[in-house]
């Protein structure tokens, strides 16, 4: 089954301890769509400006991403500038220029209105609400956000998260949104906002999933070289939702397995700047790392309890 993604398509300027890139391809919807495209068909809704290089459009097309919903309008593309210190777990936002997103009203093409899998990637929560109004009855809706929107539009964001099945958020953002320092308490407070499943991304420490009745913990794949964490969260979400849409199953067991596929995709993405690693990635690479992941987390009981 196909996925509908709405989010940012951006030009990013990023600095990490290992290098610097100016105005490279980025954006929450870009990372999400590219990652999900390894598993299923993806339909993308976003806006770019006149400065958005055609080669990036060609790249997205080369991944078979349907771009009917990508509009190009007068003005500049969304631009994010970020910095990572040696703690690669958290980006410092230096600049956010909404540019063409400032006046963007997402219009979901009629052929996407029946989407069964919908991801509201990181973007203005008011736009996320607009999208929810235009789709009929998706089987699964997930959403992501970031500190920028938690600070600037908390009410709209709370409205969005009360209406989705899966809410994906960073550890520090879970603390910020809930006002709780302890992560388990933070998760409980967010579940009380009406969230059914909460996925908390913890960078190099992996992912925790909470719902009303259970907890699932996955480590991150241990890597020797991490160049650029930008997009790890969106790439995770792309692998996660892409896998769920591929198997057409939304059971808790499927969600747990999807968390591993999401983690595998994020582990590749951080190995190079921008989307460069995803450009050369193949499905057999994904399968091999998935098997490694399974071996890495498996244990047998050899003694009694």
Binding residues (CB under 6 A) for ligand AMP: these are 8, 10, 12, 26-28, 31, 80, 96, 122-123, 146, 148, 230-234
**Minimum distance of ligand AMP from residue 88's CB (angstroms):** 11
Query: Does residue 166 contact residue 201 with C-beta atoms inside 8 Å?
Result: no
Measured torsion, CA atoms of residues 251, 172, 9, 57, in degrees rounded to the nearest 10? -70
**Minimum distance of ligand AMP from residue 9's CB (angstroms):** 8
Residue that is written with structure tokens 């890139």 in the block? 21
Nearer residue to ligand AMP within complex by CB, 10 or 174 = 10
**Minimum distance of ligand AMP from residue 101's CB (angstroms):** 7
Nearer residue to ligand AMP within complex by CB, 66 or 144 = 144
Let me know if 51 is a catalytic residue.
no
**Minimum distance of ligand AMP from residue 201's CB (angstroms):** 8
**Minimum distance of ligand AMP from residue 213's CB (angstroms):** 28
Nearer residue to ligand AMP within complex by CB, 4 or 116 = 4
CA 171 – CA 168 distance, rounded (Å) = 10
Nearer residue to ligand AMP within complex by CB, 116 or 203 = 203
Nearer residue to ligand AMP within complex by CB, 35 or 197 = 35
Query: Does residue 272 contact residue 34 with C-beta atoms inside 8 Å?
Result: no
How many Cβ atoms from other residues are within 10 Å of residue 287's Cβ?
Answer: 11
Which position among 66, 234, 276, 292 bears the catalytic label? Answer: 234
In this chain, which residue has its C-beta nearest to ligand AMP?
A: 26
Which residues are known catalytic residues?
234
């Amino acid at each position: 089954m196909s996925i509908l993604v709405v989010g940012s398509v951006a030009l990013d300027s990023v600095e990490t301890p290992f290098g610097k890139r100016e105005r490279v391809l980025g954006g929450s919807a870009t990372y999400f769509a590219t990652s999900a495209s390894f598993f299923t068909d993806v339909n993308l809704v976003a806006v770019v400006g006149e400065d958005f290089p055609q080669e990036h459009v060609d790249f997205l097309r080369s991944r078979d991403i349907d771009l009917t919903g990508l509009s190009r309008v007068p003005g500049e593309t969304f631009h994010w500038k970020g910095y990572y210190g040696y703690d690669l777990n958290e980006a410092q936002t230096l600049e956010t220029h909404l540019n063409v997103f400032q006046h963007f009203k997402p219009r979901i093409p009629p052929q996407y209105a029946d989407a069964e899998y919908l991801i509201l990637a990181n973007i203005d929560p008011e736009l996320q609400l607009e999208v929810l109004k235009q789709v009929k009855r998706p089987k699964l809706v997930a959403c992501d956000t970031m500190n920028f929107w938690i600070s600037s539009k908390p009410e709209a964001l709370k409205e969005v998260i009360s209406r989705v099945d899966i809410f994906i958020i960073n550890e520090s953002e879970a603390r910020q949104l809930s006002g709780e320092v302890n992560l388990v308490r933070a998760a409980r407070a967010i579940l009380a906002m009406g969230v059914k499943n909460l996925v908390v991304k913890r960078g190099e420490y992996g992912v925790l999933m909470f719902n009303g009745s259970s907890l699932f913990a996955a480590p991150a794949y241990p890597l020797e070289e991490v160049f650029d964490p930008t997009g790890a969260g969106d790439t995770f979400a792309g692998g996660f939702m892409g896998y769920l849409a591929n198997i057409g199953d939304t059971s808790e067991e499927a969600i747990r397995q999807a968390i591993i596929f999401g983690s595998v995709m994020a582990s590749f993405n951080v190995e190079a700047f921008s989307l460069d690693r995803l450009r050369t990635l193949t499905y057999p690479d994904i399968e091999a790392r998935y098997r490694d992941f399974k071996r890495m987390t498996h244990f047998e009981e050899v003694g009694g309890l």
